Structure 1
Amino acid sequence: MKKICYGLLSFLFIGLASCTKEDTRSSLEGRIDVRVSTDWSLADAESRASEEVAPEINDFALAIESADGKVSNSWDSFGRFQPVSVPVGTYLVTASYGDANAEGFDALSYLGSTTVEVGKDETAEASVTCTINKARVILSYTDDFKSYFSSYSAYVSSSKGNKITYADDETRGAYFVPGNLELFLEVTRQGVSQKVTLNPKNFTAEVKHEYRLTMDVDASTASLKIVFNDNPSSEQNVDINISDEALNAPAPEFAAYGFTSGNAIEVMEGSTVSDKLEAYLNASSGLAKCELITVSEALKAQGWPESVDLMNLTTEQSQKLTELGLSTKGLGANHDKIALVDFKNVLPYLYCTSDGNDVHTFTLRATDVLTKVSEDLVLKVTTRNNGFAVALPEYVSYGSTTMTAGLTLEGDPALIKFYYIYLGAPQEFTAKNIDIQPGTEENKYKVTFTYPEPLVDTENGVKFKAQYGAKTIERTFKVEDPELTLSLKNGDADVWATKAYLQVVASAKSRSSRTISSSTVEIQYKDGEEWKVWPNQSYDSETGLFLLTGMGEGASETQGVSYTLRAVYKRAGEASSFSQELSLTTEPKSQVGNAGFEDWHTESHSFNVSADFFGNPHYRDWYLPWNENEADIWWAVNSKKTMLSECTAANLDFKVFPTVSWSSSNKSSGEKSIQIATIATGAWAIPTGGSVTSRAGEIWIGTANDSGDHASEGHSFVSRPNSLSFWYQYSPVDSETFYMKIELKAEDGTVIASNEIASGAAEAVGTTITLPFEYSENKKVSSIYMVFKSSTQDSPGYNSQVTMEIAGKDQTSHIGSVLRIDDIKLNYE
């Protein structure tokens, strides 16, 4: 059925747009007139004498809004509406009646809308048909049902958390917002010890539909039958056992551990309890459903579902509940008759959404296979507001690397995670970059943060984030725009072992009156409490950088030297303004490990030849340039490549020696040098047709695999030397040459400095050579690689049975070119 009413036409326009004094409309205006009709029909509804009467059209509310949202007006009663004058455009006209979110017998509501185009000097007629925007549910009982039970009632629970009770004589229909509905019957039968609650039917209600549920009993089979609607195409009937045995069977029962159902426990916001916080469920007839209904603004904001069946979770729901600390056992696909729900680890995710305390409610309700329903178990948690707050300074100095903030927290401040924003993404402060000190008041702290780079964004400020449990604070503080700033243009890459490049910039407001040059600006360093001019400084006008040299005095191989610097602007030779202080530490003057090759140890290895005349297996010593059980090994050798594999003569193993050993007689200083030799191995006992292999000796910074090949190249390193020096002695065979290379790499693998000796010449006495470095990029060094080879030939030559010192004693072998290295040194200015 429809009821229609038209808006009253009038020459008096209540305009959404303004009018002129002469009451003439703008040349770009039109009008809107509205008619509203109602259609109270419902799908699957029966025609009944008691059918509700549609409300009066004048009781409907009306709203008109432009597509861009700039023009809007509304009327609480359509009876007050008159055609309106509006600017040309598209408008949405909406009519409504009742509360769209209410549920119950008196919760009837209507809604309708339409879009109209308003043209110049035209009247657009908006025709709005309003329909019931809810579902209606009607319950009824057959005489057999009424005679089987001595008393009965029902209620319907909605997904909005409402519970609408139907008395035993209720014939009206109740209205529900579309969504999931659950039907519960509370019945008592003579001979059954107590009232039983059943949950025989759940369904999804759609808008503008009527659902009729008829309760019937077949006494001969002791079964409850629910006829769902009368239309065979939409019937969804159920058949449930209601024998005395089934009704007397115990309903599912919850037991609480660590709390009392309905009584709130109090926890500090972001913390948990030390004892259990569990719900134990026993369903002797077997579980069918376990509902969890949650009321918590904090969990809702984190994606926790408000109502779920813990036995039928989606993947997304399961992941979210687990992520937020809920643990269950005995539910899901492998459920049985008992189950456990553990809430303990959920507590840290509960926080207060206002300045006061918050209450979070978890309701558990179980249904067994007989549709019997447990009593609700209610866990209430009151989170006490911990006062978590961070007070940031309004400004910090330009170029500063620290920021000090005030912290308020009733709890452990060590559990807070602090973040800075880098390249648009939050990065967590490391523990060493946070200093938390107690304040003068309880629960008050002073926190100093050290940023990885100077704070220089004066336009956008610095974003800051703090997180305690599930509660997050995000703030922004500003950076001052100083008259003069001192900084490292390229960060730490501008600080070397003996020098540093500094940038001095005048602020925008003072730039016109301050020219940066060597005559107007000087760099000073702090010596105790006194500021002194750095003695070795220069300015490059092309790069705009000051160069400080002569730094790093007193640096070790592992530690650099720290300085506090500032820039001073001078007028007529006198200081007129100062920059902020800048702290930096030079690179250490690092060296490679075992650079003098004094550290060695020996390992014995057998090789594949027959035993000697006495049946003893054959062994040879290998010499490795690091101490036994050394934790930090720098060098690798290819000695395993000289393992004898083809010789079968038992008396010729003396000809097998490692390519790398040490020498005590040929060295630059100390007791030893490293001796890298070409060694030949093969079937020496075979007069003809024997196979002989010669291999150049090789050492490198890195590791070797079981075959003596490179497993890795390089070792961690943090300094940038100017050059490399080493002593060498070379005795080649057949005019061969040796090879050497060094590489310094950045963290991304880029080689930023290198040098090599492609064809090293003979040197009988021994000499020291120096190789300079030129750095291609201004980056920090992350690793160093070095390699030495006794020959550049693929098949190097060798002498027959040469006797020479190997590891402190004369030994005979087939030896080719010999390269000795000692006293490797990385030089810094």
Structure 2
Amino acid sequence: MSEGTDRDMKWFSSLLLVLLALWLGGCQEEDDLRSSAQTGFQLTLTDEADQAYSRTAPSALEKPLASMFQLRVTDMTGKVAYSGECTESVLVKEGTYNLAATYGDNPVIALDEPYYMGTLENQQVITGQMTSATIPCAVANALLSVNYNTESLQKVYKDYAVTVSVGDQSVEVEASTGESAYFQAGSTVKLVFHGHLLGTGQEVSYDIAEPVIPEDPDLKPFTNIPAKTHVKIMLGTDGTTSSGAGISVEKVEVSTVSVTETLPMELMPKPKLESEGFENNVLSFVETEKKPAIINLKLSSPLQDIKLKFDSKDEKFAGLVEKEYLLSNADDKAAVENALGITLPEIGATEGSLDFTSLIPQLMTDAGNTVSSTITVDVEANNRWASEDEAVNRVYTLKCNKPEFSIAVDERNCWSREFTIDEVNVTAGDPETIKANLVYQYYDGSKWIDCTTREAVKGRIQQFTQRAEDISNKVYKVRALYRGVIASAEAEATLETPVQLPNSGMEEWTDDNYKNDYYSFNPWKEKTDCHWDTSNLFTTRHRHNSSFLGISTMAHYNGFHSVSYTPNAHSGNLAAEIRSTANGRGNTTGVDAKDYNKVAGELFTGTTNVTMGTSGFFGDADGSKDTYERIKDVSFNNRPSALQFWYKYAPYTSDTWQAHIELLDEGKNVIIQKDYTSSEAKGDWTEAVVDLDYVDETLYSKCKYIYVIFSSTINAGANMPYQKITQTFYIQNGSALSEMSFDDAYVGSVLTIDDISLVYDK
């Protein structure tokens, strides 16, 4: 070869390499575009009812439909841009495309072989974008199902089937399989019944004529059957043949079916379990609590069976443990339903659930310790068990925890002999159930004792049988106990300590000889914070008189003590004698006593405060503006249930005496009070009881002060009856008493009091 020729060949080879590189580069550019995942389709399949199957196919199906549905993508010239499995995304170049998705081979005729097709046209793709494409799919072939009237057929035939033919191809639709014949849309089918007679075993066959549908006489159910059409026929005997039983079409139904109705059994998903009330298959609850506990069965075909196992430490369910129960076994079904109080679904149901909600309140802890019960479930449908998926947790745990409740004791509910525990406060659990199985207890230092119930009280009350004064233990631990084993936290109840008023026997007195033969009396030996006082400081206020030139004048009619002691006692040596008086400051006539001096004799707990209302030259003779105040300042920290005492009463003409008791709180507000009055003369010692009428279920404040007063009359003032007499009284002379007399005394009714006591019955 010449040198020029050789140069030409080298030049041509170089040019060829350049062109090849450019071509390969172009191909690489196209491959880069196709593999960049930036330009193409993002796919979703649906059926005609617009039920999305997922990006690739029905998500509920077990097998990946990417290997089932085929996708063909063509541009507007008919050139194929993609043909293969229906994947989640398909990469193509920018342009406009038609898409077709198919499933199956569209056989002339076959058993249970549906053919699906879906198309989507004029879908535009832009460079750098993934275009969403939803392809609606439908059944593209037709099907026929045969149902058999077994009651009539089995009287004549020992076995039977129907041959369904399209042209020269056919399939057998047997009675036991439940299969359907699928064939290409627009086909005309021929049906032949054949079977063996009972007894002889003779084989017979009958052509099944195309039935007439009364509702639509023009419809030919076996001729030119359209796509997605489902023909259902019911066959039975008609008794018209020489053998005694021909075949007739008893019923015909023609309907349109969807993809989901025709999916082959092997493609249908395993049954699944979904729960309500559980979290990660665990339901925690408190004993007695009511919570939903439901396991729903997600079925794609009728229920075939359930396996159920229930394990629990609860003795009520001991008969169920360590055994697996089958729904298909009638004895097993009855045992589970009776023991657990639930209703199981029926075999053949297309939906159902295991509802353990009513079981939850029946489960109990082990004396407050958490108890776990487990339910193991397996479900069979479309010939598959849920347990085929080993990753699925089919064990459900019911975790029963102890209830939470507490009690308290309001100090206002603690008395001298009894206390009331506040009604239990249930913070976790069913209050009604817990209260129905609850007792209240107190600890006596050695053992827990059940409290007794007092009617009309929500809480429980312990009432001690011994006297309040004899109860040595004042502080008690208390608790609530549920079903005898679960206790609340302890609280404390502190009883009040009953005490009596000072000088209750009226034995302690001091004499006040303030002038000559003028006396006053005080009901104490030593005045303490808690003491009795009298109206004497008011009825003898004349002792403070000062008249003209400072000369003290005291006339008998100016004053007289209203309260003194007497040896005529109920018990002991002395009693209190309380008399109405009309003597007093400013009374210069005696007989014509001033109304403001007509006062009751009073014995009371507290302090007397007397204020002189006038002063100045001759002005101090007038007592009309004098004031007399009873200060309720006797501290007392208990709440008695009654005031008891002994008395005599000598009314002058017609009169009425009174006893009054009231308890006061920290702010001197009245907690409770009660009056006792009588007009009946009593020459002998008579017992009186003034009950404080506490009302059940009412809270009474703790007591801070007590006020008790005895009054010789309730008619003080203008209407008070009195008379002028010589009054006898006594003074202490060492260990003896000396009798004294006072002229003139203006005295009305006389009340004698002794042996005062506070009763503690509550």
TM-score bracket, shorter-length normalisation: 0.3 to 0.5
Which of structures 1 and 2 has the larger relative contact order (alpha carbons within 8 angstroms, sep 6+)? 2
Greater per-residue helix proportion: 2
In terms of fraction of residues, the more strand-rich structure is 1
Largest Rg, 1 or 2:
2
Query: TM-score of the superposition, structure 2-length normalised?
Result: 0.39
